[in-house]
Structure 1
Amino acid sequence: MEKQPVEEGILENKLQYFPVSFFASVMGISGLAVAFERYEQVFKLSGRIGLILLIAAYLACILVAITYSFKIIKHFSAVVSEFNHPVKANFFPAFSISLLLLSTGTINYQEKLAFGLWVIGAAAHFILTIVIISRWITRKYQILQVNPTWFIPVVGNIIIPIAGIKFVNIEICWFFFSIGLFFWVILFALIFYRVVLHDPMPKQLFPTLFIFIAPPSVAFIAYTKIVGHMDSFSRILLYIAWFFVLLLLSMAGYFIKLDFAVTWWAYTFPLSAVTIASIAAFDMLNYPLFGWAASGLLVLTSLVIVVVILKTISAILHNEVFVPE
């Protein structure tokens, strides 16, 4: 008779430690869905892998959102603590970015749904941008608290024009693109200074170094969507993204040795973003190099996401995730 209350107590305790960073999994899966969708379009393939992954991304978003909603209801103080944390707070905009990515993936199937997701995602992300930047200005942070997750709240604005170009005036798209690009430059200098010249980050944060790939990749996608073609500036963005892929792959031996953490999901969306950028570049220029790069990156991204999913499931089954840090 006491078994049920005990089980409920265990579930309640796990719910308390359900991290908001789990929304990064939705970003990763939806990013891969968009990558496959674009690849199938550009290379004229008849597969429906992109659609299947998009459905999986919707299911992941619903599951994570419902679970975190219960956490808000049952453990509101824990949510407040996360939102006030110098690292964890940066993952709250992962929810709004997830909506924007789902909008991008949905636009060819159901435009009205895509528009609704875009409006909610764009509005929520802009509000979170204002709140978090205001906090940076008014609170005192230590340099050791700075890490690549700081890109998420502000550089995420660059994602807004990708689907937004179909829904709103181009000047609105330029507005969000400009915000994200400006803060990418500032934060990159700050984060790189912290990474190179100060104590090493905690090992569970090392996967977030892959976030360096995301800003130039997403900026390339958004910029070419706005202007409609590739030019010198877009090439610079793409080649910066490729450089960071090569740099981080050269460190693969180090990353492989890391113990699993939820932050492993930081590998996924940046790789998806640079894959989408490479596909778009091939589509515009038809250079074979871009086609090979897009294909190779799609395979790499798919393998990484499969590994991260399996590692996540294993960690959950072994009670290694929803626990106090």
Structure 2
Amino acid sequence: MQGGQMMARAQAGVAAEARLAHFPVTFFAIGMGMMGLTLALRAGEAAFALGPEASRAALLVSLALLGLVALGYLAKGLLHPAAVAAEWRHPVRIAFFPAISISLLLLSVALLEEQPEAARLVWMAGTALQGVLALSVIGAWIGHRSFQQGQLTPAWFIPAVGNVIVPLAGVRLGHPELSWLFFSGGLIFWIVLLTLVMNRLMFHEPLPGKMVPTLMILVAPPAVSFLAWLRLTGEVGAFGHILLSIAYVFALIVASQAAKFTRMPFALSWWALSFPLAALTIASFAYAAAAGSAPHRLIGAGLLGLLLLVVAGLVLRTGLGIWRREICIAE
């Protein structure tokens, strides 16, 4: 009896080790999504002159989830470095590594109002890490490694999105030149990658099932770029109008494909819905404030309601997937 219990515990330990080895870097998309929700709630509170209770609660939950994900991936890096290296060599998963620095940059924005010194430290760490990761990922893309057309997905936008997030706190913290540098780099790579991704979507095989939700990432670069442009220049301007309009156009394109989503099995890639939707929500509220546009404030409110439903569904489905042990398994 005792021997059987020992064997069962040993088998459980092996299973836990295996799950840790398959702990995916895409878990950091949860951190991006939750931080995006926090900032969207804050934008909604400002738009309707509400108290900060909801955004503060969301920030605490976001910090807890991000901390758990970071600890889990750190443990994977220490115990299974070969598995981390395999994710870095993966043609799709490599693009998710900058989600780590993006989460830090979003956290700096969330802390900016109430904890400016903490925001400064987090922003500096996030900016340095974003620079290293963006250059490393781009270096891998243009290095000696060969990528197939079918390996190109909207997830490749993530490193570019990270760059345009830098100005959101960077300008307020007194680093306009560095903010312009990251904004410019992110903008040019967004344009380059947009051409490549649209070519892949139009003229090659459809995205595999698990990657279909990453279509929503198309919305993030123009939406975040609009917010960065507004922070850098202090006004919407013609270019700001173009960026926000592009974000709305891509949102409508993705909405036209929504029927496909209902036929797809759940995977962590579904978290790709959250941050772009949050970015579009914040951009709508920001335009409403800058231009005094009541319709955009209503658009922002509608998007915020949708975002809350989407994130609630993702949290519940992710929790169910963990309970059923459908996540962190070999593919």
Short-chain TM bin:
over 0.9
CA contact (8 A) 2:161 2:224 kept: no
**Corresponding residue for 1:39?**
44
In the alignment, the residues of structure 1 paired with residue 167 and residue 260 of structure 2 have an alpha-carbon distance, to the nearest angstrom, of: 35
In the alignment, the residues of structure 2 paired with residue 84 and residue 250 of structure 1 have an alpha-carbon distance, to the nearest angstrom, of: 33
In the alignment, the residues of structure 1 paired with residue 37 and residue 234 of structure 2 have an alpha-carbon distance, to the nearest angstrom, of: 23
Q: Give CA deviations for 1:256-275 in whole Å, capped at 9, x if unaligned.
A: 22110010000000000000
Deviates more, 1:7-16 or 1:19-28: 7-16
In the alignment, the residues of structure 1 paired with residue 48 and residue 67 of structure 2 have an alpha-carbon distance, to the nearest angstrom, of: 31
Q: Give CA deviations for 1:118-162 in whole Å, capped at 9, x if unaligned.
A: 111110011111111111111221111111111111332000010
Query: Secondary structure of 1:229's match?
Result: coil
Shift of 1:250: 2.1
In the alignment, the residues of structure 1 paired with residue 80 and residue 51 of structure 2 have an alpha-carbon distance, to the nearest angstrom, of: 46
In the alignment, the residues of structure 2 paired with residue 68 and residue 216 of structure 1 have an alpha-carbon distance, to the nearest angstrom, of: 30
After the TM superposition, which residues 137-216 of structure 1 pair with which residues of structure 2 at under 5 Å, given as runs? Answer: 137-138=142-143, 139-216=145-222
**Corresponding residue for 2:88?**
83
In the alignment, the residues of structure 2 paired with residue 44 and residue 299 of structure 1 have an alpha-carbon distance, to the nearest angstrom, of: 17
**Corresponding residue for 1:12?**
17
User: Of 99, 104, 119, which residue of structure 1 is paired with 2:104?
Assistant: 99
Question: Are 2:75 and 1:70 aligned?
Answer: yes
In the alignment, the residues of structure 1 paired with residue 231 and residue 52 of structure 2 have an alpha-carbon distance, to the nearest angstrom, of: 25
User: Of 113, 116, 119, which residue of structure 2 is paired with 1:114?
Assistant: 119
Question: Are 2:297 and 1:300 aligned?
Answer: no
Shift of 1:47: 4.7
- Unpaired stretches in structure 2, ≥5 consecutive residues: none
Shift of 1:44: 0.5
**Corresponding residue for 2:132?**
127
CA contact (8 A) 2:160 2:221 kept: no
Query: Secondary structure of 2:72's match?
Result: helix
CA contact (8 A) 2:40 2:304 kept: yes
Shift of 1:201: 1.5
RMSD: 1.0
**Corresponding residue for 1:49?**
54
TM-score, normalised relative to structure 2: 0.96
CA contact (8 A) 1:57 1:102 kept: no
User: Of 222, 226, 229, which residue of structure 1 is paired with 2:232?
Assistant: 226
Identical positions, percent? 39
In the alignment, the residues of structure 2 paired with residue 155 and residue 245 of structure 1 have an alpha-carbon distance, to the nearest angstrom, of: 16
In the alignment, the residues of structure 2 paired with residue 113 and residue 37 of structure 1 have an alpha-carbon distance, to the nearest angstrom, of: 18
Q: Give CA deviations for 1:220-276 in whole Å, capped at 9, x if unaligned.
A: 000000101111110111011111112211222211221100100000000000000
**Corresponding residue for 2:319?**
313
**Corresponding residue for 1:279?**
285
Shift of 1:167: 1.6
In the alignment, the residues of structure 1 paired with residue 226 and residue 52 of structure 2 have an alpha-carbon distance, to the nearest angstrom, of: 26
**Corresponding residue for 2:141?**
136
Change (3 A) 1:103 1:47: closer
**Which residue identity lines up with residue 40 of structure 1 in the other structure?**
E
In the alignment, the residues of structure 2 paired with residue 280 and residue 289 of structure 1 have an alpha-carbon distance, to the nearest angstrom, of: 12
Shift of 1:173: 1.0
**Corresponding residue for 1:247?**
253
- Unpaired stretches in structure 1, ≥5 consecutive residues: none
